[in-house]
């Protein structure tokens, strides 16, 4: 099946239904200036919650018996109607990303990762500033034959990255500052989902991991952990903490 409609629709459902997603961002900076960026989404807990909420008859449908362990190009997962609306740059961006999926609903397993190999700092900056727009504009909740059995479970798209950050990236620095206005607008749009998540005693853990070829020279965030060899920076938090203090996510790393 060329389009994983049901899969991505279900991911959207899980994201919007409970906001129960363990999110990890990985940036692996190489000595030649390239960088491999990976967004990992673990929605296994959300699957467990969902399976407890749906009726036995729904859980017994073929869609809920799906099990996948596959990799494909991100562009190929976008519906044809949306592909036709993308600009040349957006098509290039989507085609430069790979989507990896591991899913077994009856085992409460749902993991998705999207990765991209940036050739230099400029390419990385462009990618992380625009990939979320491509993901948001990809109407992955399009109605298909496979999705009719979960009618009523419609939501937004699986969003890669957050567009409420301002970036400054060069061959020797990675600066990411949160835009409070954009972040507040994001919270207004998603408030209901976070309220529901809290009611279900669900958290949204978040981890940022930056790996460098050389030791880090300077870092400005006291919450960020620096490895013994000074080559790995790790920042761990959750959405509750971010809502209380958005600037805790501000990060400036010189390397």
pLDDT by position in tens, the chain (length 255): 444 444 444 454 444 444 457 889 999 999 999 999 999 888 887 777 777 777 777 777 777 777 888 888 988 888 888 888 888 988 998 899 998 888 888 888 888 888 999 999 999 999 998 888 776 665 443 333 333 333 333 333 344 446 789 999 999 999 999 999 988 888 887 777 666 666 666 667 889 999 999 999 999 999 999 999 999 999 999 878 888 899 999 999 999
Quick one: pLDDT at residue 31? 96
- List the alpha helices (DSSP H) in the chain: 5-18, 44-53, 56-59, 80-83, 88-95, 121-137, 180-199, 239-244
Distance CA 254, CA 172 (A): 6
Structural domain boundaries in the chain: 5-141+159-254
The answer to whether the beta carbons of residues 255 and 172 sit under 8 Å apart is yes
Quick one: pLDDT at residue 20? 58
The answer to whether the beta carbons of residues 251 and 174 sit under 8 Å apart is yes
- What pTM did the predictor assign? 0.80
Distance CA 5, CA 221 (A): 40
Question: Which residues lie closer than 8 Å to 69 by C-beta, 6 or more apart?
Answer: 101, 102, 103
SS3 of residue 120 by DSSP:
coil
Task: Give residue 141's Cα distance to chain centre.
Answer: 17
Quick one: pLDDT at residue 156? 37
């Amino acid at each position: 099946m060329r389009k994983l409609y049901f899969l991505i629709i279900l991911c959207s459902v899980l994201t919007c239904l409970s906001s129960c997603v363990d999110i990890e961002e990985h940036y692996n900076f190489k000595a030649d200036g390239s960088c491999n960026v990976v967004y990992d989404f673990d929605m296994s807990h959300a699957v467990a919650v969902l399976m407890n909420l749906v009726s036995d008859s729904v859980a017994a449908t073929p869609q809920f018996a799906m099990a996948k362990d596959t990799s494909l190009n991100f562009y190929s997962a976008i519906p044809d109607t949306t592909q036709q609306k993308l600009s040349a740059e957006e098509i290039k961006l989507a085609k430069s990303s790979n989507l990896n999926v591991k899913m077994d609903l009856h085992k409460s397993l749902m993991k998705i990762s999207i990765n991209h190999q940036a050739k230099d700092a400029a390419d990385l900056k462009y990618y992380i500033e625009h990939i979320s727009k491509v993901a948001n504009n990809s109407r992955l909740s399009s109605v298909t034959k496979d999705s009719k059995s979960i009618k009523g479970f419609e939501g937004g798209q699986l969003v890669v990255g957050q567009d409420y950050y301002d970036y400054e990236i060069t061959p020797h620095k990675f600066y990411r500052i949160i835009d409070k206005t954009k972040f507040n607008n994001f919270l207004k749009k998603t408030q209901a989902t976070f309220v529901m998540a809290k009611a279900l005693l669900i958290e949204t853990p978040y981890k940022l991991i930056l790996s460098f070829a050389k030791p880090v020279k300077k870092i400005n965030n006291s919450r960020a952990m620096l490895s013994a060899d000074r080559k790995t920076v790790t920042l761990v938090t959750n959405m509750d903490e971010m809502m209380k203090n958005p600037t805790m996510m501000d990060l400036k790393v010189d390397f």
